[in-house]
Structure 1
Amino acid sequence: MPLLARTVQAPLHIDVRRGAVADLRRILADGRISAGGDVAVVVGPGLGEQIHDLIRPTLGAADVYTTAGGTLDAALELAEKLRSRHYDAVVGIGGGSTVDTAKYAATRWAIPMVSVATSLANDGIASPVASLINEGIKGSYGVHIPIAVVVDLDFVDSGPDRVNRGGIGDVISNISALADWELAREVRNEPVDGLAASLARMGAEAVLNHPGDMSDDVFVTVLAEALIASGLAMAVCGTSRPTSGGCHEIMHATDSLYPGTASHGELAGLGALFCTFLRGDERRFTEMSACLARHQLPRTPGDVGLDADQFVRVVEFAPRTRPDRYTILEHLEMKPNEIAERLAAYDAAVAAR
């Protein structure tokens, strides 16, 4: 009897540890990515000089490019520079905007891309998606999944604590996104990919129930691996469905209506908690609220500087950010007065915990 299986695109190499950037030459060689170090290294303006000093002794054949802004124009400009000569790979080192710019530019010329994360703000470090700003609006662009994913815990440890804690909110929002996916299956008969759901759920559960914090290498490693697993979940099913539901609709709506309010992960965590409350899932609401509070992440609109009227507008606008997606927000079809009533009850429920 023939065996049926799927072929899943996944990184050839994953490495989460301290000292990874300084050891990049060996990582590229051992992973059969670049034996001679003929790579294009892409860095952001913030850490560029420090990273250049770390890699230069062992990656003398590399060209280093600096990019800034996380815009589509910056990615296209970088792509043109990559045509200067042959590269074994493009190595994006930095935060989300730097890595996404490198992912998009590398995909333009079908060059393998290595993602080297120096922060843990969201699950973009291993996803087949690049979030880039075009004409003032952030959009999601399909790209090839990184051939390798590296997380340097030294850089994570020295980075802004708030930025890294945002990744916690992004990971646990998977729980809400998966509940929305199940709702879409029940109501609209939308297929759910079990493997993608399992990858997204495992990482979220690991972070949700871990007693550590960002000062604990074990917890930070679990968080990094959970973010990578979220990226793989998206690659498995070819959509962001396992990691993005009403929680991310709220995040995108906030970014559109009130840009600069909070980070991606902070808003995703807040949106996930609110959507979980709307579902009436008391157990999950209690678990997620406790996790967000433990890691000093926002739980109410007031925590991110939004008043009740502003958040009502956000929730009303949110379904427009993903017209093809069915979540608890589309299911309830709440009018502004209904949203205001639910929000008041939500604020009281959070305050009681």
Structure 2
Amino acid sequence: MVVSSPPSHLMELPRKILIGDRVIAEAGPLVKSLDMAAKSVAIITGSIVKERAGLSCNSSLEGAMLKTRWHVVRDASMDTVNNLYEKIKDDKPDFVIGFGGGRSVDVAKMTAYRLSKPFLSVPTSASHDGISSPFVSVRGIDKPHSIKANTPIGVLADTHLLSQAPPRLLAGGCGDLVAKITAVKDWELARDERGEYFGTYAANLAYMSAKIILEESEKLKNDERLGVRTVVEALISAGVASCIAGSSRPCSGAEHLFSHAVEYVAGAECGLHGERVGIGTIMMAKLHGLDWENVRHTLENMGAPTTAKQIGLGEDSIVQALVKAQSLRPDRYTILSKIKMDKKKARDLASITKVI
């Protein structure tokens, strides 16, 4: 098999990443260091985050002589992005900050992209790798998978704020991390069987982000501070891997297609993104001949669900999602392209891996 020549793509990486305890107090100076000419900032957040930590963030921004305008969002949909864009564009902010969980960060990232303004990612939960990547997942688009916007120009990760998030969100982040082992395997498969370009460096960086969780879960579950710090650093590294690859290939494979298919079949309320992806990884690891039991054990250690029942899914929904998954993105070659999943294979796979 002749492998394709590396595609041309522009690598956009975060210029500065600030991580540490109570570094939210440095938000203003960080924005200024990224854009000295900035005078006004649009902050996109959720209501709970604004109430809990908005004052500290706002004080830092105003202390750096930045005019602030806060916008509270309640979901991550294209309707929200469109409405926000219309609301913000007349203000002509110089800078956009996404301050909150995955929804706020994704909406802010997409809005900044629409406004052609630099974007600072300030996650308050370590729930997925979108905190440092150019990819967003919003509802109401014609593609049932992530789309590309702009890479955050900077990331501010306050480990104190991150440690205050519900434990379920950190567990979901672990699900998104272990997914890299099957995503990389899918990418290798596409290289070997379809001649697709494979970026060794980006793949190794993503794989390393998963490996540290797989190897250290026993230690991380007993040390909250270490767990939060390790998971958020790994998520940032995984996001950077996508920046280097120029696509989501090193971080997203059949396990992510399964997650999108679950939303299609049963609705987005069935589990968090990382929870669905983690369960998908257990099954895709089995198909790839990897140690799926270790994946399952790691997720259990980190408090993440490993069964359909734990995220409110019935057996039939799991089967339907497995059968449907590859058709949602036929252009992306994965293990599901090779296996040609049907209902019997799907039910057997879910049963063997104890997902159902």
TM-score where L is the length of structure 1: 0.90
| Equivalent residue in structure 1 for 2:228, among 210, 220, 230 | 220
Instruction: Indicate how the Cα distance of structure 1 residues 321 and 214 shifts in structure 2: closer, same or farther if over 3 A, else same.
Output: farther
Given residue 203 of structure 2, which amino acid in structure 1 is its aligned partner? A
Instruction: Indicate how the Cα distance of structure 1 residues 214 and 138 shifts in structure 2: closer, same or farther if over 3 A, else same.
Output: farther
State how far apart, in whole Å, the 2-side matches of 1:37 and 1:135 are: 33
Preserved CA contact (<8 Å) 1:116 1:151: yes
1:246 aligns with 2:254: yes
Given residue 46 of structure 2, which amino acid in structure 1 is its aligned partner? G
Preserved CA contact (<8 Å) 1:173 1:247: yes
Structure 2 counterpart of 1:320: 327
- Segment drifting more, 142-151 vs 300-309: 300-309
Given residue 162 of structure 1, which amino acid in structure 2 is its aligned partner? R
**1:227-259 C-alpha deviation (Å, 9 max, x unpaired):** 111111111122111111111111111111111
- Segment drifting more, 236-245 vs 262-271: 236-245
Structure 1 counterpart of 2:42: 40
Instruction: Indicate how the Cα distance of structure 1 residues 312 and 36 shifts in structure 2: closer, same or farther if over 3 A, else same.
Output: closer
Superposed, 1:104-119 pairs within 5 Å as 104-119=110-125
State how far apart, in whole Å, the 2-side matches of 1:223 and 1:237 are: 21
Q: CA RMSD in A?
A: 2.3
| Equivalent residue in structure 2 for 1:26, among 16, 26, 29 | 29
| Equivalent residue in structure 1 for 2:313, among 298, 302, 306 | 306
Instruction: Indicate how the Cα distance of structure 1 residues 68 and 136 shifts in structure 2: closer, same or farther if over 3 A, else same.
Output: farther
* Structure 1 unmatched runs, 5+: none
Identity of aligned residues (%): 31
- Segment drifting more, 78-87 vs 226-235: 78-87
Superposed, 1:203-352 pairs within 5 Å as 203-210=209-216, 211-213=219-221, 215-259=223-267, 260-281=269-290, 284-347=291-354
- SS at 1:311's partner residue? helix
Measured after TM superposition, the shift of residue 81 of structure 1 is 3.0
| Aligned pairs, number | 342
Relative contact order, CA 8 A, sep 6+: which one is greater?
2
**1:142-161 C-alpha deviation (Å, 9 max, x unpaired):** 21100001112222211111
Measured after TM superposition, the shift of residue 34 of structure 1 is 4.2
Measured after TM superposition, the shift of residue 136 of structure 1 is 10
Instruction: Indicate how the Cα distance of structure 1 residues 202 and 326 shifts in structure 2: closer, same or farther if over 3 A, else same.
Output: same
State how far apart, in whole Å, the 2-side matches of 1:310 and 1:70 are: 24
State how far apart, in whole Å, the 1-side matches of 2:261 and 2:222 are: 28
State how far apart, in whole Å, the 1-side matches of 2:142 and 2:116 are: 27
1:159 aligns with 2:165: yes
Instruction: Indicate how the Cα distance of structure 1 residues 227 and 325 shifts in structure 2: closer, same or farther if over 3 A, else same.
Output: same
State how far apart, in whole Å, the 1-side matches of 2:308 and 2:52 are: 37
State how far apart, in whole Å, the 1-side matches of 2:144 and 2:327 are: 15
- SS at 1:47's partner residue? helix
Instruction: Indicate how the Cα distance of structure 1 residues 110 and 294 shifts in structure 2: closer, same or farther if over 3 A, else same.
Output: same
Measured after TM superposition, the shift of residue 263 of structure 1 is 0.7
Instruction: Indicate how the Cα distance of structure 1 residues 80 and 334 shifts in structure 2: closer, same or farther if over 3 A, else same.
Output: closer
Measured after TM superposition, the shift of residue 137 of structure 1 is 8.3
Measured after TM superposition, the shift of residue 84 of structure 1 is 2.9
Given residue 111 of structure 2, which amino acid in structure 1 is its aligned partner? A
Measured after TM superposition, the shift of residue 270 of structure 1 is 0.8
Preserved CA contact (<8 Å) 2:187 2:250: yes
Preserved CA contact (<8 Å) 2:292 2:353: no
- Segment drifting more, 334-343 vs 169-178: 334-343
Measured after TM superposition, the shift of residue 37 of structure 1 is 5.5
Measured after TM superposition, the shift of residue 7 of structure 1 is 6.2
State how far apart, in whole Å, the 2-side matches of 1:57 and 1:227 are: 28
* Structure 2 unmatched runs, 5+: 1-7
Measured after TM superposition, the shift of residue 51 of structure 1 is 3.2
**1:14-45 C-alpha deviation (Å, 9 max, x unpaired):** 0121212232112223x333466532222212
- Segment drifting more, 289-298 vs 208-217: 208-217
Structure 1 counterpart of 2:20: 17
| Equivalent residue in structure 2 for 1:169, among 171, 175, 178 | 175
TM-score where L is the length of structure 2: 0.89
Measured after TM superposition, the shift of residue 141 of structure 1 is 2.8
State how far apart, in whole Å, the 2-side matches of 1:137 and 1:7 are: 23
- SS at 1:243's partner residue? coil
| Equivalent residue in structure 2 for 1:96, among 82, 91, 102 | 102
